[in-house]
Amino acid sequence: MTVTCEQRLLYRVGTTPLEKANEDAKSLAELLWFTDYRPTMPELTQVRSEMASEEFQRLLCVLELLSQYPVCPRDKAARLQQLTRRFHSLLLGDKGPQPRGRYSPSKRWKLSDKTEAFRKALLPMQTRTYADSTGRHHGLSI
C-alpha cells in the first residue's frame, strides 16, 4: 500500500513528544486549518498499524487539540472530533462524549506529555492576520 506525504506527517507527529513542539506539528496544523485535507478513518487505521499505542494516542491527542482552535473550520473540527471520539472508544473503552470546557487532552489520552510548548508553537498561526494571509478558507473567515 502506498504511503502519502500526509500519512508520513501524521506518523512523525505521533512519534514526537508534545514537549518538543516541532515543525511537523506546525505543518500538520497548517495542513488541517488551511487546506482541504481531512484525515479519514482508513488512513488513520493504516497509520495506527505502523505506530506504537502511545504514539498513536499522541497523534489522536494532537488531532483533538487542533480541532479545538477557532481557526479550524467548523465542519473539519466536527469531523476530527468524531474520529478522535471513535478511536478513543476503540482504544480506551470510553463511550462517553468528549469533555466540555477546560480539560487536559494529554491526560484524556493517557499520555504524560505536557502541551504547553505545543500550544505556544501554534500561537502565531491562530491570528486572523496569519490565517487571512494563507488565502484559504479557515475558521476565522467571515
Q: What is the pLDDT of residues 59-76, one digit of tens each?
A: 999 999 999 999 999 999
- How buried is 50 (Cβ within 10 angstroms: 0-12 exposed, 13-18 middle, 19+ buried)? middle
Domain boundaries, the chain: 5-133
| Rg of the Cα atoms in the chain | 14
CA 37 to CA 22: how far, in whole Å?
20
CA 112 to CA 110: how far, in whole Å?
7
**Count of helices and strands (H, E) across the chain:** 8, 0
pLDDT-based confidence at residue 84 (cuts at 50, 70, 90): very high
The answer to whether 53 and 91 have CB atoms below 8 angstroms apart is: yes
Residues 6+ apart with CB under 8 A from 29: 66, 69, 122, 125
pLDDT above 90 coverage of the chain, percent: 53
Q: What is the pTM of this model?
A: 0.89
pLDDT-based confidence at residue 101 (cuts at 50, 70, 90): low
Q: What does the block give as the cell for 132?
A: 487571512
Looking at residue 40, what is its pLDDT? 94
Q: Does the pLDDT of residue 130 top 80, yes or no?
A: no
